[in-house]
Structure 1
Amino acid sequence: MATKTVATALQRTLTDLIDLGLPAKQAHWNVTGPHFRAVHLHLDELAAATREHADSVAERLAALGVSPDGRASTVAAESTLPGLPAGPLADRAAAEAGILAATITGLRAGTAATGEPDPVSQDLLIGIAADLEKQHWMFQAQTR
């Protein structure tokens, strides 16, 4: 039961991290506005960070004997994140899209679920949440 709880939290996090990285690149390619350069570069940094975090989560799943599932069909079916509109995206809209905040909310739920059964997985999720919360703050600061 404990492994299933941890595996579910980690798989959800993996799915959301993969899904966060995709719209981060989409926004990176389509961002416009007076804060273009700062937001454009920051979106690229966010996309890179999500790939690293997703890799860490997938490796933790594998270490627990659970096969991580990062297939596009799984991400499309199971992601809990809101979508990103197509086309040009104003810098403020990119910074406030809600996708990063939704990822953080999911991470906090995963942190709560993994604390008792697996403090090592919880620690991993806490570190990722701390990084993404910092990223979220930095996006907000750039466009206010």
Structure 2
Amino acid sequence: MATITGPLSNDAKKTVGEALQGALVDLIDLSLVAKQAHWNLVGAHFRPIHLQLDELTDLARAHMDTIAERAVALGVNPDGRSATVAKATQVQQPERGWIEDGKVIALITDILSGMSKRMYERIQATEEPDPVSQDLLIAVAQDVDKQHWMFQAQR
């Protein structure tokens, strides 16, 4: 069986691998929660929020692929299986059924706030061992922060 090795020491690989895996879980679950809210959204502001949730889903999906591929390039196996995401997620889950637009805005704002904090922790953790992965996490944080601002402005 072939294996992939990367340029990092074992200690650096472990630290960076954990940061990338955490970001991957956040991004996968963000895409799932955003779609769940997208499908079950109701309220006077349905249309713009519905479209904004699609943008958020697309952003999460693009970043999760980049993060997972970086992990592979370092010789780390990304784990995006549903059981792994369900077990490891820190993303707040939406309620079941129809969700009023104001509740969706509050939920997504809170989710993005928590994700932003975790991304900044990952940025700090990867500064020394792998500036390349840090750059990718910075790009994720930039987009998460922008989305947080855009959802928060609607509260």
Output the TM-score relative to the length of structure 1.
0.95
Q: Please, which of 88, 93, 96 is the counterpart of residue 78 of structure 1?
A: 88
Where do 4+ consecutive residues of structure 1 move more than 2 Å?
A: none
Counterpart of 1:62, as a letter, is V
Structure 1 residue 86: Cα displacement: 0.9
Structure 2 unmatched ranges of 5 or more = 1-10
Aligned counterparts of 1:73 and 1:3: Cα–Cα separation in 2: 24
**CA offsets, 1:40-85, max 9 Å, x none?**
1000110111010000000000010111110001001111112111
Residue 4 of structure 2: aligned partner: none
Query: Which aligned pairs between 1:115-126 and structure 2 lie closer than 5 A?
Result: 115-126=127-138
Residue 4 of structure 1: aligned partner: 14
Structure 1 unmatched ranges of 5 or more = none
Deviates more, 1:53-62 or 1:132-141: 132-141
Question: Whose radius of gyration is greater, 1 or 2?
Answer: 2
Structure 1 residue 35: Cα displacement: 1.4
SS of residue in 1 equivalent to 2:64: helix
Counterpart of 2:100, as a letter, is A
| CA-atom RMSD in angstroms | 1.0
Assess if the C-alpha contact under 8 Å between 1:114 and 1:122 holds in 2: yes
Structure 1 residue 132: Cα displacement: 1.1
- Percent of matched pairs sharing the same residue: 53
Assess if the C-alpha contact under 8 Å between 1:27 and 1:89 holds in 2: yes
Output the TM-score relative to the length of structure 2.
0.89
